[in-house]
Amino acid sequence: MNNKEDLSSSRELAAKIRGHSLRMSFATKSPHLGSMLSMADLLAVLYTHILRVDPNNAHWPERDRFILSKGHGGAALFAVLAERGFFPTAWLETYRRDNGKLSGHISHQVPGVEFSTGSLGHGMPVAVGMAMAAKQVAREHRVFCLMGDGDCMEGSTWEAAMFAAHHRLDNLVGIIDYNRVTALGQLEDVIELEPLDERWAAFGWSVLRVDGHDHEQIRQALSALPLQRAKPSMVVARTIKGKGARWMEGTVESHYAPPSEEQLAAALAELGVGP
């Protein structure tokens, strides 16, 4: 595999995800743009290099299961799935519109979406159930669950974390889009999650921290799964909320504020993805 060429394809996809997310947020004045942009690189690497999925057969039994637990950032996943051919990119224009194809939070009614979320803390227990089912019959596919900071504040996530380690579910992979900004504040002012790696490790997971915008680091981490045999894997990806939309990067405002027309144009130009 030519690594250089390899990573240019995921970088290109990441730019497209950001472009779609910006346009979708702008079109309906929708919130959560910062949450979409912070995980754009993670999604791009997953859907270019890691996940075994088939756009022509969304329910392929051997597919890797991917659950987006931070369902509020769902537009970014819709963008990836459209770009990968699960459904027409024209659907993206119906995001949050009357009788539209795509809701604000992720829904399994959309081809390629494994599971509906929107309230935090739901993804990991379901992913654990799916991983357990795969182990029951020794199936080879993996189960991925991408979470946000908020997911790590919910008790249900930690219930599932305990269970997964106890049952040695090494076909289960957690990824945290660790942007450290919530709806109302910075983590240090709301609920500090540090030491996050140590916390997951203490719960029995094998943990690796990466730069969540560095495609090579992300790809390497997710290409060496499980991180450790007989343990579930956790990749803590440090990200910047709103990454790629300079005016909102790392700010609390990035959670709700859609871009203005000028901001949209500037961001699209910088990304090189066109209007």
Rule CB under 8 A: is residue 117 a binding residue for other proteins?
A: yes
Tally the C-alpha atoms within 13 A of residue 178's C-alpha that lie toward its C-beta: 21
216: which residues sit within 8 A by CB, 6+ positions away? 3, 7
Rule CB under 8 A: is residue 127 a binding residue for other proteins?
A: yes
Rule CB under 8 A: is residue 156 a binding residue for other proteins?
A: yes
What Cα–Cα distance (Å) separates residue 267 from each residue in 28, 37, 235? 17, 12, 28
Binding segment toward other proteins, per CB under 8 A, in 2-10, 125-133, 215-223, 247-255? 125-133
Rule CB under 8 A: is residue 130 a binding residue for other proteins?
A: yes
Of 118 and 250, nearer to other proteins (C-beta) is: 118
- Name the pairing type of β-strands 65-68 and 143-148: parallel
Count of residues that bind other proteins according to CB under 8 A: 26
Please say whether the beta carbons of 256 and 35 come within 8 A: no
Q: In degrees, to the nearest 5, what angle opens at C-alpha 12 toward C-alphas 149 and 213?
A: 30
Tell which positions 82-111 bind other proteins, by CB under 8 A.
108
Binding segment toward other proteins, per CB under 8 A, in 115-123, 177-185, 195-203, 224-232? 115-123
Matching residue, tokens 């997971």: 205
Residue 136 beta carbon to other proteins: minimum distance, rounded to whole angstroms: 7
Chain residues in the site for other proteins (CB under 8 A) = 108, 115-119, 121-122, 124-134, 136, 155-156, 159-160, 162-163
